[in-house]
Amino acid sequence: MFEHRDTRCIHGNLERPEFESTRAVSFPIYQTATFGHVGFGQSSGFDYTRETNPTRGKLEQTMSALEGAVDTCAFSSGMAAVSACIELFSPGQHILCSEDLYGGVIRLFDQISAKNGLTVDYADTGSAHAIEAAITPETACLYIETPSNPMMNVADLRQCRQIADKHGLILIVDNTFLSPYLQNPLELGADLVIHSGSKFIGGHNDTISGFVCSGSPALAERIRLIHKTTGAALSPFDSWLTLRGIKTLGIRMERQQESAVEIARWLREQPGISDVFYVGLEDHPGYTVNASQARGAGAMISFRTDTASTARRVLERTQLITFAESLGGTESLITYPMVQTHPDVPVAVRERLGITETLLRLSVGLENVEDLKADIAQAL
Ligand SMILES: *Cc1c(COP(=O)(O)O)cnc(C)c1O
């Protein structure tokens, strides 16, 4: 009963803990560092907020209900969530990932994981052949973003599961771009799902958070240990803000996506725009695979302008759309991936992927779609 996603966004798993007897409709913020012991050797179930906190717990349950997870840990950022997953691996092991990943993850792999003895390679994870060719005897993890950032490449998650099974790999999927409202990688065979909650989940460009959703009790236990030990747990207040954001996740995703479809089609017709990358366009190479594994295409669009000066003009002149990093919130944002999100990617790799001086990324927010089009039109 009450299984629909939009209902879960508002009520989570409907379980109200016994200790919360006030019936507060908005789950309370338990702003406390520690909890008194009930008696010698007895605990209320809560001892210290780094480990567990009721407000964070409510948020974690809500995310588990949305992703179909055994357990979810809420972190102080998306990067803290990614870092926690990387703690599963040991020196000498190899991680194979999508080649256009979130720039911060590439920086983590290349500048921190590498020094700690992990090896990382990047492959076109849209191709089973390319994944197979890059697997080595040391490979322990397949790390996927779909659609990817910023090129909107789509990986076939069911196929990734088959490859992971064949080689005994942990399959990790960063589901930030579609959110649990539109895609549930655990149901398609992922072992762990990562989110930056700072994006669609929080949804209001006002807080930073991250999640790891576990698909099995064994992994859930390992991630919990890392979460409470390494200590990047989400604060009670930020947990509450994120819970508040999730309540409208469904309706925001629906509306932002509707506007994104319209803007993607319209952008194609504009002078000065040479390419539009949006997974919801029928001729996008990943359209069919995405439609087979997700319930929508989301609200992220990348596009290419004719020249670098057109790109700069758009960034400088938009008035409603803010030139800023991040995505997924109520305010539309436009980003220059080459400079803002992917400066640490080697130039040769950037060029090959198409992350050049003419590429822009647009996160479509909740403003009226006519106003958004008018803003881009006047900027062009
Ligand atoms: C933003 C983002 C991250 C990092 O999350 P933070 O909350 O900024 O630390 C990871 N993956 C993707 C796809 C992102 O967009």
Residues 209 and 256 in one domain: no
Cα–Cα distance for residue pair 358/275, rounded to 1 Å: 10
Of all protein residues, the one whose alpha carbon is nearest to atom 4 of ligand 1 is 78
Residues 57 and 151 in one domain: yes
Question: What's the domain count of the chain?
Answer: 2
Say whether 71 is catalytic.
no
Ligand 1 contact via 174 beta carbon (within 6 Å): yes
Check if the beta carbon of residue 288 is closer than 8 Å to that of residue 268: no
| pLDDT for position 349 | 83
Residues 43 and 55 in one domain: yes
| pLDDT for position 342 | 86
Q: Which of 30, 102, 181, 336 is catalytic?
A: 102
| pLDDT for position 344 | 81
| pLDDT for position 100 | 86
Residues 147 and 260 in one domain: no
| pLDDT for position 18 | 81
Instruction: Look at the pTM and tell me if it is higher than 0.75.
Output: yes
| pLDDT for position 82 | 98
CATH number of residue 204's parent domain: 3.40.640.10
Ligand 1 contact via 340 beta carbon (within 6 Å): no
Residues 278 and 225 in one domain: no
Residues 208 and 341 in one domain: no
| pLDDT for position 62 | 96
Q: Which atom of ligand 1 is nearest to the CA of 177?
A: 13
Ligand 1 contact via 195 beta carbon (within 6 Å): no
Ligand 1 contact via 176 beta carbon (within 6 Å): yes
Residues 182 and 216 in one domain: yes
Ligand 1 contact via 284 beta carbon (within 6 Å): no
| pLDDT single digits (tens) 250-287 | 999 999 999 999 999 999 999 999 999 999 999 999 99
Check if the beta carbon of residue 75 is closer than 8 Å to that of residue 100: no
- Domain final residue pick, 212, 246, 280: 246
Say whether 181 is catalytic.
no
Lateral strand order in the sheet of 333-335:
273-277, 300-305, 359-363, 333-335, 322-323
- Domain final residue pick, 187, 220, 246: 246
Residues 66 and 200 in one domain: yes
Strand 94-98 and strand 119-123: the pairing is parallel
Given a cut of 50, the residues of the chain with pLDDT beneath it are: none
Residues 240 and 254 in one domain: no
Residues 279 and 222 in one domain: no
Residues 91 and 157 in one domain: yes
CATH number of residue 374's parent domain: 3.90.1150.10
- Ligand 1 center to 38 CA (angstroms): 39
- The whole domain housing 101 covers 5-246
Cα 213 to chain centroid distance, Å, stands at: 11
Q: Which atom of ligand 1 is nearest to the CA of 197?
A: 7
| pLDDT single digits (tens) 77-114 | 999 999 999 999 999 999 999 988 898 999 999 999 99
